[in-house]
Chains A and B, each alone.
Chain A
């Protein structure tokens, strides 16, 4: 009988002591329990490293960064990921909606083989070279030359004005400049008015494919953005210590050598930042083309094609593929720009 009673008593005592341990030192109890077996020890090690990581994290710093990270994640990272995924699917707008079957590389094949996309890629390349070269080149020349002009601020303001007009406004203005009227009707476009006044036949400027019309469109872009480049380069030029230039002149350097060997190297970092900004600008060029030719007559560009595929043709798969191409093309220039910028800031 005694045994019979003792057994529950002992169990009670064990339970009691385990319970006490659990109450007095719960973590220790759990740890000791886990240490008994290999999987437990592994789990324990994992928990410990997690705790160590958790303690090492600077939660206060992160709490400041978190809102920005959330916003970027939601408005930038998420759409980017979905767009990339979207480029492998069919035409429907909603990835989980109707008409959206997996199509593999079909959209990508279109992007790199269809005649219209090849034209667009070629035109964007042409834009990137001519537009960037001219805006930065003219901007640099103007910045240095206008420094010696009496009414510098006034002239610079005039040149900067186009940058303040919306792209659509600029396009409408230049559409008038290039306007065509048949020979026996009064010309309303200044370019053809000049041609006719000089005894020529009016020209359909925007129809002269593939070089004249594309170059004339690029001229519009140059007109619009040269002022912007000039203002930034001018600011950098004014930062060059004047004694440096004077010293060179006293040493007998002519103006060209001063420009070539002193001004240019000192302006190079700024010019690079401006140039990469212009390249990014040109890769996403849309408004001028959309308003002036809508990509007809071999003037198509990537962004206009993307717009058409999405919003006119409702082919979101194809449009997404074009968007990703645009992204891939822009990214290296963005990185270059940010690096340059950081270097410049760090140097100050």
Chain B
């Protein structure tokens, strides 16, 4: 009798478990247009797997804090896309994230992008949502009206800047204010310049702190960036750059008459100015060209080095349904939803630039596919104290007029502590 009861109970439990939906908790930080696009990917996954329920939590602000707290409390999400490669490596060292090497098949991800999620022989991040950073945005109509041509070298870029200046305009609009994250757009400039003046090898050493911040090659990159200000190329000068929010910084290109002619920013910035101005047409009202090479020695093959960023997917729990969702994110279905809905780049191995409607996305995708040298955003690879601390405030200090040697020594002191 008792045996019968127990077996009935066990059967009941098994039955409940079989009918209960399996849940995958996802946390992401895309409050804008990306959120509905990601939801469409989730819907497509749930349609294929009716037994799995993907619960999405959107955390727009202070996500690192919330995630760190959840992790400390032993309650992280199952999976999260994030750009903090440096932090991800710390997690890997602490053993709180899943090594996906034998769990997820990465054959559908662009092979050039896979290594970005690798660390100490394991695979901890799937680079699925890429962004290209080394872009200069310009207004083709204004360029045509003034007879300006797209520069192919750094010297052509400087010559163009001189010409714009002589014509009474401001060559660049730079905005590095970003609330508590102020400084990061400046770090992108420095990183791009390091790749172009010192090369990828030095870049890697710099990011891993194998060379000090006071190294002359790093100093040169800061000075090259600073020279844009010294020569009066920047709208509003140092104060303009320090007080302009990154999201508003491209707007001067679209004023009539334009207050500035060029803007350095990643692909995502089009979302901002399209929000601020109605009826802008990609390819007609705005277009991109890559930030040209500077020192031929730094890029021997002559190709333009590419700075990329974006979100990698990291998994905290290796339940089969979580892995299944992670695998789905690498699929062509997911990649197509993402790029067709948002005009965002695709990390899929079969992504064909010709498929993209927007000429901007097409160009950026071509750059992503063709780049022989591409590097992930250095500030995201560095430990938090540097990448989101001393480097940010160092750039702000330098632009605001503090002596460069002092700035670099301060970052170096923090780096000695952090690495």
Question: Which residues of A (270-310) have their CB < 8 Å from a CB of B?
Answer: 290-291, 294-297, 308
Tally chain B residues at the interface, Cβ within 8 Å.
37
Residue B8 lies at the interface, judged by CB distance under 8 Å to chain A: no
A250 at the B interface (CB under 8 A)? no
Chain B residues with Cβ under 8 A from A296's Cβ?
Answer: 182-183, 392-393, 396-397
In the bound assembly, the distance between CA atoms of A326 and B407 in angstroms comes to 28
List of A residues within 8 angstroms of B243 by Cβ: 179-180, 204, 206-207
Looking at B72, B180, B418, the one whose CB has the most chain A CB atoms below 10 A away is B180
Within 50-73 of B, Cβ neighbours of A (below 8 Å) are at 62, 64-65, 68-69, 72
9-residue interface stretch from A52-60, A91-99, A158-166, A235-243: A91-99
Contact A314 B182 (CB under 8 A): no
Q: Which residue of B is nearest A204, CB measured?
A: B239
Residues of A within 8 A of B240 (CB): 180-182
Known: A93-B68, A314-B68, A314-B90. A204 touches B180 (CB 8 A): no
In the bound assembly, the distance between CA atoms of A313 and B387 in angstroms comes to: 9
Q: Knowing A99-B94, A207-B242, A312-B64 touch, does A182 contact B388 (C-beta < 8 A)? A: no
A308 touches B235 (CB 8 A): no
Please determine whether B385 and A313 come into contact, CB atoms closer than 8 angstroms: yes
Residues of A within 8 A of B247 (CB): none
Please indicate which of the listed interface residues A99, A290, A295, A296 has the most CB atoms of chain B within 10 Å of its own CB. Answer: A296
What 0/1 pattern do residues 373 to 408 of B give for CB contact below 8 A with A? 000000000011100110011001100100000000
Is there an interface contact between A312 and B396, defined as CB atoms closer than 8 Å? no
Q: Is B384 touching A312 in the complex (CB atoms < 8 A)?
A: yes
* A169, chain B: closest CB distance, angstroms: 14
Is B199's beta carbon under 8 Å from chain A? no
With both chains docked as a complex, state the minimum distance between the C-beta of A190 and any C-beta of chain B, in angstroms.
Answer: 15
Complex Cα distance A179/B177, Å?
Answer: 12
Q: Which residue of chain A lies nearest to B72 when distances are taken between CB atoms in the complex? A: A93
- Taking CB atoms, residues of chain B closer than 8 Å to A11 are none
Q: B335 in the interface, Cβ–Cβ < 8 Å?
A: no
Question: Is the C-beta of A209 less than 8 angstroms from some C-beta in chain B?
Answer: yes
CB-contacts of B214-242 with A (<8 A): 235-237, 239-240, 242
Query: Do A312 and B179 touch (CB < 8 A)?
Result: no
Say yes or no for A24: interface residue by CB 8 A criterion: no
Nearest 10 A-B pairs (CB), nearest first? Answer: A182-B236, A204-B239, A180-B243, A311-B65, A313-B384, A294-B180, A313-B385, A93-B72, A182-B240, A296-B396
Helix, strand, loop or mixed for chain B's interface? helix
The answer to whether A115 and B410 touch across the interface, beta carbons within 8 angstroms, is yes
Q: Is B400 in contact with A311, judged by CB distance below 8 angstroms?
A: no
Query: Nearest chain B CB to A310's CB is how many angstroms away?
Result: 8
Which A residues lie within 8 Å of B41 (CB)?
none
Query: Is A184 an interface residue when CB atoms closer than 8 A count as contact?
Result: yes
Contacts A185-B259, A311-B65: A204 and B179 contacting too (C-beta < 8 A)? Answer: no
Q: What is the number of residues of chain A that contact chain B, defined by CB distance less than 8 Å?
A: 33
A181 adjacent to B236 (CB under 8 Å): yes
Total cross-chain contacts (CB, 8 A): 77
Q: Which residues of chain B have C-beta atoms less than 8 A from A311's C-beta?
A: 62, 64-65, 68-69
Chain B residues positioned under 8 Å from A291 (CB to CB): 179-180
Query: Do the beta carbons of B239 and A180 come within 8 Å of each other?
Result: yes
Given A182-B235, A182-B237, A207 and B400 contact (CB-CB distance below 8 Å): yes
Q: Please give, as numbers and ranges, the residues of chain A lying within 8 Å of B179 by CB-CB distance.
A: 291, 294
A337 at the interface (CB under 8 A from B): no
A residues 81-102 in Cβ contact with B at 8 Å: 92-94, 97-99
Q: Which of A312-335 contact B (CB under 8 A)?
A: 312-315
A332 and B129 alpha carbons, distance in the complex (Å): 53
Q: How far is the CB of B82 from chain A (nearest CB, A)?
A: 14
* Residue in A183, A204, A294 whose CB lies within 8 Å of B182: A294
From B64, B95, B235, B240, name the one whose CB has the most chain A CB atoms within 10 angstroms.
B240
State whether B410 touches A315 (Cβ < 8 A). no
Chain A residues within 8 Å of B236, by CB:
180-183, 185
Shortest Cβ distance from residue B407 to the other chain A in the assembled complex, whole angstroms: 12
Mask, B73-107, CB within 8 Å of A = 1, is 00000000000000100100011000000000000
Complex: A207 Cα to B189 Cα, angstroms? 21
Q: Smallest CB-CB separation from B396: which chain A residue?
A: A296
The answer to whether B400 and A297 have CB atoms under 8 Å apart is: yes
Q: Which A189-223 residues have C-beta < 8 A from chain B?
A: 202-204, 206-207, 209
Closest partner residue, chain B, to A297 (CB atom): B400
Closest chain A residue to B251 by CB distance?
A: A185
Question: Which residues A172-190 have CB closer than 8 A to chain B?
Answer: 179-185
B400 touches A209 (CB 8 A): yes
Q: What is the 8 Å Cβ interface bit string for chain B, positions 237-276, against chain A (1 contact, 0 not)?
A: 1011011000000001000000100000000000000000
A202 CB contacts on chain B under 8 angstroms: 239
Q: What are some 7 contacts across the A-B interface (CB < 8 A)?
A: A94-B72, A207-B239, A296-B393, A297-B396, A313-B385, A314-B90, A315-B385
The interface residues of chain B lying within 8 Å CB-to-CB of A294 are 179-182
Cβ of B382 to closest chain A Cβ, rounded Å: 11
Which one of B90, B259, B396, B418 contacts A182 once the chains associate, using CB atoms below 8 Å?
A: B259
- Complex formed: what's the CA distance from A308 to B386 in Å? 12
- Docked complex Cα distance between A294 and B181 (Å): 8
Please, which residue of chain A has its CB at the minimum distance from the CB of B252?
A: A185
**Could you tell me the distance between the alpha carbons of A94 and B96 in the complex, rounded to whole angstroms?**
13
Q: Report chain B residues within 8 Å CB of A180.
A: 236, 239-240, 243
Nearest Cβ on chain B to A63's Cβ, whole angstroms:
33
Rounded to whole Å, the gap between the CB of A51 and the closest CB of chain B is: 45
Per the 8 Å Cβ criterion, residues 137-187 of B in contact with A are 179-183
The answer to whether A184 touches B259, judged by C-beta atoms less than 8 angstroms apart, is yes
Chain B residues with CB under 8 Å of A97's CB are 94
Whole-angstrom CA separation of A50 from B418 in the bound complex: 54
* Chain A residues, CB < 8 A from B87: 314
Q: Tell me the complex Cα distance, A204–B259, Å.
A: 19
Interface string of A97-140 (1 = CB under 8 A from B): 11100000000001000010000000000000000000000000
Residues of B within 8 A of A92 (CB): 94
Bound CA span A342–B110, Å = 71
Name A311's closest neighbour in chain B (CB-CB).
B65
Do B239 and A98 have beta carbons less than 8 Å apart? no
Are A308 and B389 neighbours in the complex by a CB distance under 8 Å?
A: yes
Give, as a whole number of angstroms, the nearest-CB distance from B400 to chain A: 5
Give CA–CA (A98, B182) in the complex, Å: 31
Residue contact A290 to B242, C-beta cutoff 8 Å: no
**Are B388 and A312 in contact, CB atoms less than 8 angstroms apart?**
yes
Complex Cα distance, B156 from A42, in Å, reads 97
Q: Tell me if A313 and B389 are in contact (CB < 8 A).
A: yes
The residues in B between 349 and 392 inclusive whose CB is less than 8 angstroms from any CB of A are: 383-385, 388-389, 392
CA distance A98 to B242 in the complex (A): 39
